[in-house]
Amino acid sequence: MQQPAIAPNLPRQAVLSAVAEASEPSGVFWVMNPLATVIACYGLLANSPAVVIGAMVVAMLLGPISGVALGLNESDGPLLRAALRTLAGGIVWILVIAIVVGFIHRDVPLTEEILSRTDARLFDLVIALAGGAAGAIAVLSPKIGTAIVGVAVATALVPPLAVAGMLVARGEFVLAGGAALLAFTNIVAIQLAFSAVFWIGGYRRLTSFGELVFVTFLRRELPSLALVAVLAAVLGFQLHSAIVRSLFETKVHAVLRERFDSSTGSRLIEVRFVKEINSTTVSAVFRGTKAPSAAEVGAAQRALPPPPDRTKLALRVRFIEAVIMTPQGRLLTRSESDKEVTR
């Protein structure tokens, strides 16, 4: 047997047996994952991060993912097929439970915990890679086995799948697609990280004498590496777009405050951005004692930065008059009213 680059703390056969056992669809697997899904769904609906974390710990999807990784490294076809079947079955089971819960509670408003899992970012890919590596090290080193709880939190799989199922039940297919992309990103990244750590730990099989170890790893992990590269490009582009959009919105807020808060004595209450096919409408709500003129609105529109997508920009201002009363009656002087409004 080839000497591993990093010697694991468990005997080789014990690790192989443990991973193979975790890759089989046991009764506990079919019970724990639905329970984790129910916990995740109601934690998401209740907007409770603590409950969602509990679902991450209860879930049992890391086992078959480790089986996929080891099956690729060892060229073990039966292990790979068993792990893929178990993983696919677990995912379908979780989605079915989540869809049922979603239908039951279709009238519950979408919470921040739900919406936060509908937009995969490059950071999520990095977290999943690091969490997958930590999970593989925990498998090889029983002394740090308790760290698997932290790994489960970092590499959450059930919550985004639960979000996808509940959103499908509501007909929110675009948001459901974002949650499914997050779950898929986590699964691919965790598998690749497991494979890399197992490979470094000596869990690999060469197909010919003198074959280059690293080349073999690249060849066997080519699909996973290609998926991670594509995901990194897509998520990186989404992250860049989100940053650019956030900077644009921040600059719009700054220009509107500069133009109206000081010049007309108004206060900016709300700004909404309405994106259409060929235009972006900025809807601003102000409160004060004197409405801005059309000329002032036009000047403010010309001072706004261009939208990131270079569409035509339009500014719409809604003004809410503020009436200020004192024991002596309504304030009529502009200077006194402005001081009160802007306090």
| pLDDT per residue as tens digits for the range 230-282 | 888 888 888 888 889 899 999 999 999 888 876 566 788 889 998 887 889 99
Does the domain at 12-220 match CATH 1.20.1080? Answer given as yes
Q: How confident is the model at residue 6 (pLDDT cuts 50, 70, 90)?
A: very low
315 Rama class: left (phi>0) / alpha (psi -120 to 50) / beta: beta
Contacts of 30 (CB under 8 A, 6+ apart): 93
Tokens of residue 67, six digits? 């089986």
Does the domain at 247-341 match CATH 3.30.70? Answer given as yes
The enclosing H or E element of 317 equals strand 312-321
Please report the pLDDT score of residue 332 as a whole number: 53
pLDDT digits (tens, 9 = 90+) for 26-53: 888 899 889 989 999 999 999 988 888 8
Please report the pLDDT score of residue 275 as a whole number: 84
The enclosing H or E element of 59 equals none
- Can you say how many angstroms the Cα of residue 46 is from the centroid of all Cα atoms in its chain? 18
In angstroms, the CA 73 to CA 204 distance is 5
In the predicted model, is pLDDT for residue 3 greater than 50?
Answer: no
In the predicted model, is pLDDT for residue 20 greater than 70?
Answer: yes
Q: What is the mean pLDDT of the chain?
A: 81
Measure the N-to-C terminal CA separation of the chain; round to a whole number of Å: 77
Please report the pLDDT score of residue 162 as a whole number: 94
Contacts of 259 (CB under 8 A, 6+ apart): 296, 299, 300, 303
In the predicted model, is pLDDT for residue 333 greater than 60?
Answer: no
In the predicted model, is pLDDT for residue 139 greater than 70?
Answer: yes
**What residues does each domain of the chain span?**
12-220, 247-341
Contact 117, 179 (CB under 8 A): yes
Listed residue (58, 57, 76, 59) closest to 19, CA to CA: 76
- Between 117 and 290, the more confident residue is 117
β-pair partners for 270: 285
Give the C-alpha distances (Å, rounded to integers) separating 294 from 78, 110, 263, 319: 73, 38, 14, 12
Q: How confident is the model at residue 8 (pLDDT cuts 50, 70, 90)?
A: very low
Q: How confident is the model at residue 321 (pLDDT cuts 50, 70, 90)?
A: confident
In angstroms, the CA 50 to CA 28 distance is 23
* pTM: predicted TM-score of the whole model, two decimal places: 0.72
pLDDT digits (tens, 9 = 90+) for 174-185: 999 999 999 999
Rg of the chain in Å (alpha carbons) = 27
Contacts of 50 (CB under 8 A, 6+ apart): 43
Please report the pLDDT score of residue 5 as a whole number: 41
**Count, residues in the chain:** 343
pLDDT digits (tens, 9 = 90+) for 54-105: 787 788 888 898 888 888 888 788 888 999 999 999 999 999 999 999 999 9
Please report the pLDDT score of residue 145 as a whole number: 54
pLDDT digits (tens, 9 = 90+) for 169-222: 999 999 999 999 999 998 988 888 888 888 888 777 655 444 556 666 677 777
